[in-house]
Structures are given as structure tokens and as C-alpha cells.
Structure 1
Amino acid sequence: MLERIERALVACNRWLLIVLLLAMACIVFANVVLRYTTGDSIVWAEEVARHMMIWVTFLGSGLVLRFGGHVAIDNLHRAVSTRSARFLRAVVVLGIAGFCVFMTYFSVLYVWATRFQTTAATDIPISYIYLAMPVGFVLMLVHLLFVARNYITAGDYAQSDEMNADAAASI
């Protein structure tokens, strides 16, 4: 059951990123074409593309973590004994989990503080854009929890036929 939930989460996360990147690319492309063919541009295109990029960054960070795509220095835990390496990896997982919880809490406060501000071109609440932060940190924590046991015991990240660390880092 838990494995099915994990697969569904990864699939939904991937498809959401794909749709957001595709929409962002189409908006930017249309804006560039209009600017060079008519001399006018879409007023809201740059702002919306920037907001989509923020969402893509935070939604993609969990997948990148899951497949080992974030920058990591792993020389120390590879140079020490197996028991010490497991301890070091457990400390790393606890540190990342603590960071995600800390950042989730403070980003929720930040979203709450910006709830009455609106964007210039589209007049939508800025809190909708900043909501990407707590959502992204919670997703990162969930992805971390799914891979933590295997990472601590063996030093391995999640494996996928479609995704590896290099592909995850390029999201």
C-alpha cells in the first residue's frame, strides 16, 4: 500500500512539473514571438513565467533529493567503517528533515504575512506564489522519508528506469 502511494506521489509530482514547464515554455515562446513580430508583448507573460519557475523549483526539489541530484559531499561516509557511515548518513537525514520542518514552519509564516499583497500585472495574491515554499519543503520531507531507510543503511538513493541523479539534477 505504501509503495503504491509512493509511486503515485512520484508520478503526480513528475507530471505536474512537466505541465508547468511546458506551460511556462509556451508562454515565454509566445511572448518572444509576439514581441519580435508585432512589437508588443503579453503584459503578464514575464510575471507568470517567473511564478511558474518558482513553483517548478520548489516542487522539483523533492524529486531531485529522492534520486540524489542535489550537490553532496560523500567522501567522509565512504571512507569510514560501515557503522560510522550509517551514523553519519543518519545525522545527514535528521539534519535535512529538521531543515525541511524549520523551513516549512517559517515559510508558512511568510505566506501568511504576504496574504494581502498582490502581483503587479495579474493582481493575484503573492501568497499563492509563496505557497510554493511550504508545499515544496513538505514534499521534500516526504520524499526524504521514503528514501531515508535505504540511504542510511546502504548509502543509495531511489532507483528509477526513467530517472537518475544526473537527470534529477537537470529538472
Structure 2
Amino acid sequence: MKRLERIFVTLNGWAVLLMLAAMTLIVGANITLRYLTSHSLPWADEAARYLMIWMTFSGAGLVLRIGGHVAITNLQDALPDLGQKLLRGALVLGLLIFFGFMVHVGIQYAQRMQYQVTPALRLPFLYVYAAMPVGFSLLILHLLLIARPLITAGTYKSLDGDATGTAQPGGANG
């Protein structure tokens, strides 16, 4: 199971990295062409925007698994150990319900947009809006993979799948 998790995390990371590289190349080529030839690629801004959307949704699970999202931990810190575990369990359950709802809403929205096309690329908006259900599905998988150590010990995992020790959820503790 650990090996499958590492493969999943690695593939997710590489997908985000490739999207970032593609976006960088497209924007860089567009800037270069604009200054060298006074012409730009008409589709470059649109492609970069959609790659950014896909990167954001695809990378959110990677950030979740290492505790990188913002959280306020005053209540959790004030509770005894059992209370902290129950609170973290409720938070995981609430997140799973919310992420599942967003997958459902994302699928509906993507289906509604399947016949409209983007202005420059002429790509069906279905492919743009599919980032939402795909991203939230990845969030569900990442959360399920870290749920046990998160609930029981309040620990997150590093990107390679190992526990990072007790970490405060998120970057903003208040």
C-alpha cells in the first residue's frame, strides 16, 4: 500500500510540475515572440490561464497532505488529547463530505459547459471545468491516505509519504 501511495503522490507531483513547465514555456515563448517579431500567440494567455486552473486543483491535494493549507488551531490546542482526536475526526469527515459535494457540483457544471468552446483554443469548456471534479477527487484520495495519522496524532506526511511528526495544520496558527 505504501508503494502505491508513493507512486500516486509522485505521479500527482509530476503532473503539476509538467503543467507548470508547459505554462512557463508558453508564456516565455509568447513574450519572446512579442518582442522579437511584434506578434504574439493569440492562444497563449488562454492556455496559461487554463493550465493555472488545472495546476491549482491538481496540486491542492499535495498541499493538503503536508499541512500546507491555512488553519487556525486555537480550539484544537485548548482541548485534551481525546477532544483533539474527535475534533480532527469531525474535520476529516466534514472535509470528505464537502469534497464529495464539490466533485458532484463540478461534474454537473462541466457537463453544462461541454458545448461551449474557449475563444482562442476552441477547446470545449468541459476540459477546463473538469479540473474541479478531478482536483476534488484527488483531494479526497490524499485526505483518505493521511486521515489516520492526522486524526490519531495530528501528523501530516511529507511528499514522499513518510510522517513528518506533529505538525500544526496549516501555516497560520492563531
State whether structure 2 residue 151 is matched by structure 1 residue 133. no
State whether structure 2 residue 67 is matched by structure 1 residue 72. no
Same amino acid, percent of matched pairs: 46
Residue of structure 2 in register with 1:117 after alignment: 116
SS at match of 1:121: coil
CA distance in 2 between counterparts of 1:35 and 1:54 reads: 24
Which amino acid in the other structure matches residue 51 of structure 2? Answer: M
Which amino acid in the other structure matches residue 146 of structure 1? Answer: L
**Count of residue pairs the alignment pairs up:** 166
CA shift at 1:159, angstroms? 2.5
Which amino acid in the other structure matches residue 67 of structure 2? Answer: G
CA shift at 1:161, angstroms? 6.4
State whether structure 2 residue 137 is matched by structure 1 residue 158. no
Superposition map of 1:33-52 within 5 A: 33-52=32-51
CA distance in 2 between counterparts of 1:100 and 1:38 reads: 46
Superposition map of 1:16-27 within 5 A: 16-27=15-26
The structure that is helix-richer by fraction is 1
The structure that is strand-richer by fraction is 2
Gaps spanning 5+ residues in structure 2: where? none
Residue of structure 2 in register with 1:147 after alignment: 146
CA distance in 2 between counterparts of 1:44 and 1:94 reads: 41
SS at match of 1:157: strand
Alignment RMSD: 1.9
Q: Which stretches of structure 1, 4 residues or longer, exceed 4 Å deviation after superposition? A: 160-165
CA shift at 1:160, angstroms? 4.3
Structure 1 residues 116 and 161: alpha-carbon distance in aligned structure 2, compared to 1, 3 A threshold: closer
TM-score with structure 2 setting the length: 0.90
Residue of structure 1 in register with 2:102 after alignment: 103
TM-score with structure 1 setting the length: 0.92
